[in-house]
């Protein structure tokens, strides 16, 4: 994985200062903003929101990494602000070229989803955040709505009539601060619970997390990504 990120440094992604490893299991140990967001920092990550593994490769490089249900997201990778990054996502025989320009202080997630034809296709959605709510004493949870099939999507605390996040338009995100405690969330679509509660584990103060809502075949589904930043 380190070889892959080193190759990205030399490729069309031009990821400055990377001697990195993408280690999802260790993401909870790395705070996204140790001292708050730097004004000129920009970051991009890749997320597998589809039903199968997705390979991510950089333009001009043969290096790749694979995302799957066990490890659905990279860390946020630091990049040069205002300069386009480009690569290719592949799922089976389908592929999608992607490109994004990230502004200073912006965090961009490029999410791979199953194609609308349900026949092995692939499409991507880009979600942009410019968070400014860093609090070393709180955890931060975002809700990305990437499923038009879920009416009035809501995240609730299971077993309690507490709404964590709602009112998120398709393709958009909303974030809030919470106490650093063990937390589970229940997806609600159209006023009805969908699927089983999702455990986010014990949230850590000063760290950020994302719950992504994506199409899941017959029903919508949610999964979590840790918003850790690679150093």
- Three-class secondary structure assignment of the chain: CHHHHHHHHHCCCCCCCCCCCCCHHHHHHCCCCCCCCCCCCEEEEEEECCCCCEEEEECCCCCEEEECCCCCECCEEEECCCCEEEEEEEECCEEEEEEEECCCCCEEEEEEEECCCCCCCEEEEEEEECCCCCCCCCEEEEEEECCCCCCCCEEEECCCCEEEEECCCCCCEEEEEECCCEEEEEEEECCEEEEEEEEEEECCCCCEEEEEEEEECCEEEEEEEECCECC
pLDDT in tens, 48-73: 999 999 999 988 777 789 999 999 99
- Can you give the pLDDT at residue 63? 72
Whole-structure pTM value: 0.82
Residue ranges in the chain modelled with pLDDT below 70? 1-40, 117-120, 231
- Can you give the pLDDT at residue 202? 98
- Can you give the pLDDT at residue 120? 62
- Can you give the pLDDT at residue 118? 52
- Can you give the pLDDT at residue 115? 85
- Can you give the pLDDT at residue 131? 83
- Can you give the pLDDT at residue 64? 84
């Amino acid at each position: 994985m380190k070889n892959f990120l080193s190759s990205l440094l030399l490729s069309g992604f031009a990821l400055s200062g990377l001697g990195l490893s993408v280690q999802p299991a260790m993401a909870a140990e790395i705070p996204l903003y140790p001292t708050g967001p730097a004004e000129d920092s920009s970051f991009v990550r890749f997320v597998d929101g589809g039903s199968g593994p997705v390979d991510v490769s950089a333009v001009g490089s043969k290096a790749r990494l694979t995302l799957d249900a066990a490890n659905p997201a990279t860390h946020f990778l630091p990049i040069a602000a205002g300069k386009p990054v480009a690569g290719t996502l592949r799922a089976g025989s389908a592929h999608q070229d992607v490109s994004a320009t990230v502004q200073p202080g912006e965090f961009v997630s490029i999410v791979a989803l199953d194609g609308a034809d349900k026949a092995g296709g692939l499409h991507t959605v880009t979600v942009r955040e410019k968070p400014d709510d860093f609090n070393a004493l709180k955890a931060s949870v975002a809700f990305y709505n990437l499923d038009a099939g879920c009416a009035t999507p809501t995240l609730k605390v299971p077993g309690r009539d507490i709404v964590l996040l709602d009112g998120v338009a398709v393709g958009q995100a909303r974030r809030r601060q919470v106490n650093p405690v063990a937390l589970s969330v229940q997806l609600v679509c159209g006023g009805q619970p969908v699927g089983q509660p999702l455990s986010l584990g014990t949230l850590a103060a000063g760290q950020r997390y994302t719950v992504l809502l994506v199409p899941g075949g017959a029903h919508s589904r949610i999964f979590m990504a840790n918003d850790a930043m690679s150093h």
